[in-house]
Amino acid sequence: MSGRTTVVGIRQGNLRGVTDGGVKAYRGIPYAAPPVGRLRFRPPAEHPGWPGVRDATAPGPSVPQGPGRLAPVMGARTPDWDEDGCLNLNVWTPADAAEGQRPRPVLLWFHGGGFTSGSGGWDWYDGSRLAAAGDIVVVTANYRIGPLGHLHLPETGADNLGARDQAAALHWVRENAGAFGGDPARITVGGQSAGAYSALALALDPATGPLIHQLILQSGPWSLLPQAPEDAAHAANRYLGLLGIERDEHLAKSLRDVPAVDLLDAFARLAAELARPGDAAPPLYPVLGGAGYPRPWPDAVADGALAGKRVLIGRTEHEATAFLGPDAPADLVAAVTQAAFGAGVDTLAAACAAHGTPAHVYRFARASTAVPGLGAPHCADLPFAFDHLDAYATAPMLGPVDAGDRALARAFSGALAAFTATGDPGWPAHRPGGAPHVETFTRD
């Protein structure tokens, strides 16, 4: 990103960002101490701060991870991970936001990746156009994934660490939004896939729910309930066995001593060992009863835990082709899409309406122009959500784009931005006793 530099001060120190096109960007900001050494497999700790002015003109590293499962659909990424400094976030804010008297609404957005891959710093999730579209502050954040984020060893402090990171990022936004011209009382939390699942968990958890004003839930894997503790314990034991580590009084130190690349290699072997036909669940993911997940989401939502929080929720038309392949039978794609994604959308929208909470439902249906058999697969809405089509130039789920696609990107990102800003994306909310209005986004 080119442009003139700009400096902002927060409690931990000063940050140098860049202004470009009417938006200020501050990237790679640590929201917690590096989770290395004695802090590996421990809850996030407060960052001690820094002297002088910290450069925030480029993204920080991603969390250690292997290749993304959906690389054949989304396109491959060049590895950019580093465990030291991976707990970072990025802020885009209107250039005049911090200078005026009108604080802007804030969107804190979490990437997907099946709790095993992804980074909020990737150009896929550049928030500059989204911030400009709604005159809002946009924040994207990393969180620990794979074994570093979801290995279940409570005796070492490893208890839903990825969820704990997300809660720490939310608290950081609450504390620091004002420095960037944001309104800490109007925080929308959103995400896609595992990020949507995480956003809902934050809203339902009594410890973090009061900090959240609204939700944007894109293609959440709603059929996936939190992992049962006994299953998580079994997976943890299998993983330790692959590492050759005993579950004894030296466990924490033994895990700290393993190079990150070896942790990832053992995780890949664990995934292969635990894989079951037709089961898309990752080997390690949030555990029921652990930090951030006190109850299954259907129970909490049915009891009105989202009352008072507006919700924007939707899915793509052919989610399942990302997992089944472009040649899968249409009836199978429709059935798996509905079971894994669509049924949860229906349940959430109906529960919100029953408790007097507006829920706006959408369907994203723009089909791939590179691999027509993919239709509109899981993740197909992401280039349009951020109005950043060029970042997905090699993505089979996108393909060649034209002026109509760019207009669709402006419309879809504009709806997300408008919802963040006003609570109204531009179409009716679901009402009790009737089928929800579903706004479809596709090419004209």
Domains of the chain, earliest start first: 4-228+289-441 (3.40.50.1820), 230-274 (no CATH)
* pLDDT at residue number 224: 95
Burial of 9 (0-12, 13-18, 19+ CB in 10 A): exposed
Element (H or E) spanning 94, and its range? strand 88-94
Weakly modelled stretches of the chain, pLDDT under 70: 1-2, 100, 278, 434
Mean pLDDT, the chain, whole residue set: 95
For the entire predicted model, the pTM comes to 0.97
| DSSP assigned state of 342 | I
By annotation, the residues acting in catalysis are 193, 319, 378
Strands (E) in 180-288, as ranges, are 182-192, 214-218
- Cα–Cα dist 412/382, whole Å: 10
- Residues 80-124 have pLDDT tens digits of 999 999 999 999 999 998 776 789 999 999 999 999 999 999 999
- Cα–Cα dist 270/204, whole Å: 30
- Residues 35-44 have pLDDT tens digits of 999 999 999 9
* pLDDT at residue number 431: 82
How is 264-322 classified by DSSP, letter by letter? HHHHHHHHHHH-BTTB---SS--BTTSTT-SS-HHHHHHTTTTTT-EEEEEEETTTTHH
Residue 300 CA to chain centroid, in angstroms? 21
Nearest to 310 by CA among 383, 213, 176: 213
- Cα–Cα dist 84/111, whole Å: 20
* pLDDT at residue number 100: 66
